A and B are shown apart, each in its own frame.
Chain A
C-alpha cells in the first residue's frame, strides 16, 4: 500500500529553511530521508517553496480569479510530501512520528487512491 505523508510547516520552520541550510534541524531531515531510503520504503518525495510563492487560481462564472499565496489561509502550510510503500497505516503512522516535521508542525498520513490510478485519473 502506498501512503502520502504530507508535511505542514509553521512560519518559523519555513523561515529556518529559507535562511540557514546548515541548521542542525535540517541534519535531522537529511537523516530521516536516509533512514526511509535504507529501510526500503521510500517511493518519492519533494519539498515545496515557501507558501508566499504560491498562486491560487479559480474559474467562477467564466471569470478567472487569481489570488496571491496558498489556497487556505492557515498558520501551518503544506511544505512537502513523501510517498511511502508500507504494509499498513500503522506502519505509516510510525514513520510519521519519526518525521522531524511532526515535532514542530504536523504530518498528515493519507493512503493514495489506487482505484483512481487504475481508472486513469492520474498521469500514468
Chain B
C-alpha cells in the first residue's frame, strides 16, 4: 500500500471517529450505563482499525466495523471485571447483538445520543461537569483539551470525569429522554452545557473580556446534533443561531496586528456572510414556534448587530427591547450589564450608568465586563478620574492580553 492511500486511510479513520464517536459511545453505553468502558472499548476498536484498515482496506461500512470491534472489546472488558451478577444480562445483550450474521449499517442501529446528552446534563451530576462530560463522551475531546478550555488542572479533570461517570454507572441515572413535564428544565441544562463550551460573545461591549473557550466548533457541532435529534425545539434552534451570529464576527475581532477590536469598531465587511445567513434562517424558524426563550432573545440581539452589515447603523432601541424581555426570563449578571450598555447607546451614558448602579456591588467585584462598560460610560461623561479607576478594575480582571492592551490605551487616551 502506498503512502497516499495510507494517509487516506488515516483520514478516513479520523473522519469516522469524529462523526461516529458519540453515536457509538451512546449505543454501547445505553444498556450498561458504563460510559468509561464504552469509551475504552471504542478506543480499542479505533486502534484496531489503525492496524487493519491500511492493510485490508477501509471496510464498506466503517461505522459498523467499529461497532462490531468495540462490542467484542466491551465483552472482554466486562468479562474481566467479573461483575457477573450485574453483567450477565448485559453480556447476553451484547453477545446476541454481535452474532448477527449481517452487520448493522450506520442507519440500522438507533441513535442514542439524545439520551446521552440528557445523561451528561442530569441534575444529579455536578453542573460544572455537564459540559466536560458532553465534550468527552459525545465528541471524544480528551481531558487535556478540556483542562485547557475550562482552566482546571489536567489531573483534576480526569478525577472529576471519573467521579461523574461512576455516578452515572451506579447512581441510577436513567438513559432516557425526560418526560414532557420535565423536558423544558432538562433541555435547558443541555443547552446551557453546550453554550458553556462556546465561550462568551462579549465583543459587543467596550473592551469586555472574551474568555473564549476555544471550543466554538465543538459547541456548534453539538448544537447541530441536538437540532437534528430535536428539530421542533425553538430554543435549540435559537442557541444555534446565537452561536452562528457570534462566530460570524470572529475574523473582525482582531486587526492585522492582532489587536482587539470592539464590535462598534468592527468592519462588517469582514463578517462571514454565510454564517449570518444560516443564523437568520434558524432564528426565523425558531420564532415560528412562538415559544420565545433566552437563547432566541440573545440571538435576536445579535441579529440586530448583524443588520449593520446591510443598513450601516445599529438599532439600539430594538436591542434595549430584546434585553428587557431577556431580563424577565433570566436576570443574569451578563444580561444586566449588556442591558446597561444598550441603554447607554440608546438613551445616553447617564441612563446606562444608572442601570449599572442598580446592580449589587457584591456581585460585580470579580466581573470584568461590568467594569469595562462602567469605565467606558464614565469616560464618555468626562469623569476622567472615576473612569480611570474603573479602567484599572477592568484591566486587572481581564484575561485576554489583547483586551488588556486595548483597555490600557483607552485609559491613557
Could you list which residues of chain A lie within 8 angstroms of chain B, going by C-beta atoms?
Answer: 24, 27-28, 30-36, 38-40, 89-90, 93-94, 97-98, 100, 103
Q: Is the CB of A33 within 8 A of B396?
A: yes
Indicate whether B184 reaches chain A with its CB closer than 8 angstroms.
no
Interface string of B381-413 (1 = CB under 8 A from A): 000000000011111111101001100110110
Given contacts A31-B392, A90-B152, A97-B151, 12 further A-B contacts (CB under 8 A): A24-B409, A27-B408, A28-B396, A31-B391, A31-B395, A31-B408, A32-B395, A35-B395, A40-B365, A93-B151, A97-B399, A98-B399
Answer yes or no: B259 CB below 8 A from chain A CBs: no
Q: Is there a chain A Cβ closer than 8 Å to B159's Cβ?
A: no
B401 touches A103 (CB 8 A): yes
Q: A35–B396 contact, CB under 8 A?
A: yes
A98–B397 touching, CB < 8 Å: yes
- Judge whether A39 and B398 touch: CB under 8 Å: no
B52 to chain A, nearest CB (A): 42
Contact call B393/A100, Cβ cutoff below 8 A: no
B366 located at the interface, meaning its Cβ lies under 8 Å from any Cβ of chain A in the complex? yes
25 contacts between A and B (CB under 8 A): A24-B408, A24-B412, A27-B408, A27-B411, A28-B395, A28-B396, A30-B392, A31-B391, A31-B393, A31-B394, A31-B396, A31-B408, A32-B395, A32-B396, A34-B396, A35-B392, A36-B396, A89-B153, A89-B156, A90-B151, A93-B153, A98-B396, A98-B397, A98-B399, A103-B401
Task: Assess the A100–B404 pair: CB atoms within 8 A.
Answer: yes
- Please indicate the chain B residues that have their CB under 8 angstroms from the CB of A103 in the complex: 401
Say whether, besides A24-B408, A97-B151, A103-B401, A38 and B393 are in contact (CB < 8 Å): yes
B202–chain A nearest beta-carbon distance, Å: 15
A28 with B151: in contact, given A34-B392, A39-B366, A98-B399 (CB under 8 Å)? Answer: no
**Contacting A98 at CB < 8 Å: which of B156, B392, B398, B409?**
B398
What is the count of residue pairs linking A and B with beta-carbon distances less than 8 angstroms?
A: 54
Q: Which residue of B lies closest to A32 (CB)?
A: B396
Contacts of B396 in A (CB 8 A): 28, 31-36, 98
Q: Name the A residues within 8 Å of B404 (CB-CB).
A: 28, 100
A35's partner among B153, B393, B409 (CB-CB below 8 A) is B393
Q: Which residues on the B side are within 8 Å of A94 (C-beta)?
A: 151
Report how far A36 CA is from B399 CA in the complex, Å: 14
Chain B residues with Cβ below 8 Å from A28 are 395-396, 404, 408
Return the chain A residue nearest B397 by Cβ: A35
Q: Mark B282-321, 1 if CB is under 8 A from A, else 0.
A: 0000000000000000000000000000000000000000
In the assembly, what is the distance between CA of A34 and CA of B375, in Å? 15
Closest A residue, CB atoms, query B401:
A103
Give A89 to B391 CA distance when docked, in angstroms. Answer: 27
Expressed in whole angstroms, the Cα–Cα distance for A31 and B395 within the complex equals 6
Top 6 closest pairs, chain A to chain B, by CB = A35-B396, A31-B395, A31-B396, A103-B401, A31-B392, A32-B396
**B365 (CB) vs chain A CBs: closest residue:** A39
Cα-based distance from A97 to B366 in the complex (angstroms) = 13
Task: Give the chain B neighbours of A38 by CB distance below 8 A.
Answer: 365, 393
